């Protein structure tokens, strides 16, 4: 059974800092990997989706990488802003692509 772990559970940084959030998964036979953002009391917003054949995806200040062989993905946030404060979740898609297994998230606080 796939297990997804996110470290650290919480992170506090000053505004302007570049940062990396980590996601690891136990079964490397994933179909894809998706990163989400969740604001308090809200639903999830999809940030990036990396297909299993890809190494990375970029959207604005966000860059997500995928290394299937080591069971790891990272989300890089450049020049962090207070508006980036939220919980970030990663989810591994199973081989058919039909189901996602979620990590518990990293709660990010960017201080002005």
Partner 1 sequence: DGGITQSPKYLFRKEGQNVTLSCEQNLNHDAMYWYRQDPGQGLRLIYYSQIVNDFQKGDIAEGYSVSREKKESFPLTVTSAQKNPTAFYLCASRGLAGGRYNEQFFGPGTRLTVL
Q: Which residues bind partner 1 (CB under 8 A)?
A: 4, 31-32, 34, 36, 41-46, 49, 51, 89, 91, 93, 97-100, 102-105
Q: How far apart are CA 96 and CA 46, in angstroms?
A: 20
- Name which of 18 and 51 has its Cβ closer to partner 1: 51
47 contact partners, CB below 8 Å, separation of at least 6: 35, 36, 37, 59, 62, 64, 75, 88
Q: How far apart are CA 57 and CA 16, in angstroms?
A: 22
Question: Closest distance between partner 1 and the C-beta of residue 97, in Å?
Answer: 5
Q: What burial class does residue 83 get, using C-beta atoms within 10 Å of its C-beta: 0-12 exposed, 13-18 middle, 19+ buried?
A: exposed
- Name which of 47 and 77 has its Cβ closer to partner 1: 47
Question: Closest distance between partner 1 and the C-beta of residue 105, in Å?
Answer: 6
Question: Closest distance between partner 1 and the C-beta of residue 67, in Å?
Answer: 20
- Name which of 84 and 105 has its Cβ closer to partner 1: 105
Question: Closest distance between partner 1 and the C-beta of residue 16, in Å?
Answer: 28
User: What is the number of alpha carbons within 13 Å of residue 63 lying toward its C-beta?
Assistant: 10
- Name which of 71 and 93 has its Cβ closer to partner 1: 93
């Amino acid at each position: 059974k796939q297990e997804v772990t996110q470290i650290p559970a919480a992170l506090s940084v000053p505004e302007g800092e570049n940062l990396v959030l980590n996601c690891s998964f136990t079964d490397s036979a994933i179909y894809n990997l998706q990163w989400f953002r969740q604001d308090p009391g809200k639903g999830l917003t999809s940030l990036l989706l990396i297909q299993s054949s890809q190494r990375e995806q970029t959207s604005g200040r966000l860059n997500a990488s995928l290394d299937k062989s080591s069971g790891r993905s990272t989300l890089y946030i450049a020049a962090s802003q207070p508006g980036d404060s939220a919980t970030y979740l990663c989810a591994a898609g199973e081989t058919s692509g039909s189901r996602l297994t979620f990590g518990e998230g990293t709660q990010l606080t960017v201080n002005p």
